[in-house]
């Protein structure tokens, strides 16, 4: 018999908003779902092109966003970063 996985919260820094948001997740949450929730919560809008952003965990970009947080080894209060996929020109 296995115990049910407990939900926990992770911290996500969204650089476009310069804001940290706390997202309640379960171990089976995918990285893509985490990115969607973080962007909509930080930017306060739902119409965001998800392909324009990447997620970093432990300093490296997560290339397979279908991976679950438990597969990445995320624990409660784990830090993630969501940032633009392409560099923006400075004016």
What's the DSSP call for residue 3? Answer: P
Query: pLDDT tens digit string along 43-88?
Result: 988 788 999 999 999 999 999 999 999 999 999 999 999 999 987 7
- The pLDDT of residue 53 is 95
User: Which residue, among 24, 35, 26, has the nearest Cα to 80 in the 3D structure?
Assistant: 35
Domains in the chain and their CATH numbers?
Answer: 8-84 (3.10.20.90)
Give, rounded to a whole angstrom, the gap between the first and last alpha carbons of the chain: 59
State the pLDDT at residue 29.
96
pTM of the model: 0.86
- List CB contacts of 33: < 8 A, sequence separation 6 or more: none
How far apart are alpha carbons 91 and 88 in whole angstroms?
9
């Amino acid at each position: 018999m296995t115990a049910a996985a407990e939900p926990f919260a992770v911290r996500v820094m969204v650089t476009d908003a310069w804001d940290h948001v706390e997202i309640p997740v379960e171990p089976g949450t995918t990285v893509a779902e985490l990115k969607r929730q973080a962007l909509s919560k930080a930017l306060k809008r739902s119409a965001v092109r998800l392909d324009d952003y990447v997620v970093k965990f432990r300093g490296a970009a997560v290339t397979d966003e279908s991976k679950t947080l438990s597969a990445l080894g995320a624990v409660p209060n784990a830090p993630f970063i969501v940032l633009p996929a392409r560099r923006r020109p400075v004016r």
